[in-house]
Amino acid sequence: MDVASGLTAASQVIEILKQIKNLDASIDAVAYKEKLLELRENAFEARSALLDVKQELLENASTIAALEAQIKNLTSGSICPKCSSGTMKTIITKPHSMRSAANHGVQIWTKECDAEDCNHRDEIIHDPNGLLKK
């Protein structure tokens, strides 16, 4: 069941409640009971639809969390750009060749993919304070 049918069932519940309100239960007991059964059936349908929607929302939230984690991994530079399966690990750090940058903590980091058959290496500038961008 989907959101639309759940809303329809909930609308019918409201409509039946209006009809029950207008019934004189002491005069038309059979119609009153029929309306109560109809009301109950529609309330169950609305509840079922809402439970389905809740389940779908939970699944969507789980998918979104997994995709966010994947995006974070892919954009963090920690996934190997060559094989896309290994993780780039920092294996060597050295001061930047420009002494003034090195004096302010800028380093060159050599990273290597940890996948067995990849061996991809990359050097990145570790510039924690963004000195070289200024």
Q: What is the Cα–Cα distance from 134 to 98, expressed in whole angstroms? A: 15
β-pair type (88-95, 121-126): unpaired
Q: How far is the CB of 121 from Zn ion (least distance, A)?
A: 10
Site string (63-82) toward Zn ion, x via CB under 5 A: -----------------x-x
| Interface with Zn ion, residue 6, by CB under 5 A | no
| Interface with Zn ion, residue 120, by CB under 5 A | yes
Q: Quote the tokens at residue 84.
A: 């896309």
| Interface with Zn ion, residue 126, by CB under 5 A | no
Please, which residue, 78 or 107, has the CB nearer to Zn ion? 78
Q: How far is the CB of 88 from Zn ion (least distance, A)?
A: 8
